[in-house]
């Protein structure tokens, strides 16, 4: 885990849930996060909470959305990833085990734009198929 120098942060995207904060840095597209991690929602490969921002390395995330204990994000190549609570299959991975590291979501869409919506039931909705 790498901690960050707060004075150099310029964020492009920020979102938060009840016990977590996530931001994407503008210059390097790094995902910085902190907070509760009981379901793996920090994506660090473990379930340890963090009281300081840490960087989730190896991805170039463009946007991120969070639900109750889980996260959905997409990269600059429009690869979608989910991690965290998955007890209802809300990550779209075809199973219902919690994931403490980013897992690629295979959408098989033939569209150039995809909209993620997190509903009260915490489901991933493909706006194209409404």
Position with higher pLDDT, 13 vs 75: 75
Alpha carbons 2 and 17: distance in angstroms, whole number: 22
Residue-level pLDDT at 124 = 42
Taking residues 39-67, report their average pLDDT: 90
Alpha carbons 61 and 47: distance in angstroms, whole number: 21
Alpha carbons 106 and 108: distance in angstroms, whole number: 6
Taking residues 109-115, report their average pLDDT: 45
Q: Is the pLDDT of residue 120 over 80?
A: no
SS3 98: coil
User: Apex CA 64: angle with CA 62 and CA 17, to 5°?
Assistant: 155
Q: Is the pLDDT of residue 111 over 50?
A: no
Alpha carbons 73 and 94: distance in angstroms, whole number: 17
| Helix, strand, coil percentages for the chain (3-state, nearest 5) | 5, 40, 55
Residue-level pLDDT at 125 = 39
pTM for the model stands at 0.75
Residue-level pLDDT at 114 = 43
Residue-level pLDDT at 17 = 75
Closest by Cα among 58, 15, 60 to 33: 15
Q: Minimum mean pLDDT among 38-47, 63-72, 94-103: which range?
A: 63-72
Taking residues 31-41, report their average pLDDT: 91
* Residues of the chain above pLDDT 90, percent: 28
Taking residues 115-130, report their average pLDDT: 41
Residue 124 in tokens? 């991933």
115 CB contacts (<8 Å, ≥6 apart)? 127
């Amino acid at each position: 885990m790498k901690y960050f120098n707060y004075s150099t942060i310029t964020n492009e995207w920020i979102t938060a849930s009840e016990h977590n904060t996530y931001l994407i840095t503008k210059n390097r597209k790094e995902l910085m996060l902190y907070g509760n991690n009981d379901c793996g929602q920090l994506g660090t490969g473990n379930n340890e909470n963090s009281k300081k921002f840490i960087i989730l390395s190896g991805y170039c995330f463009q946007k991120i959305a969070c639900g109750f204990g889980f996260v959905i994000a997409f990269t600059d190549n429009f690869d979608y990833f989910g991690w965290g609570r998955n007890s209802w299959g809300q990550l779209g991975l075809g199973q219902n085990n919690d994931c403490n590291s980013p897992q690629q979501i295979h959408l098989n869409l033939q569209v150039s734009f995809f909209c993620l919506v997190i509903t009260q039931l915490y489901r991933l909705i493909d706006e194209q198929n409404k």
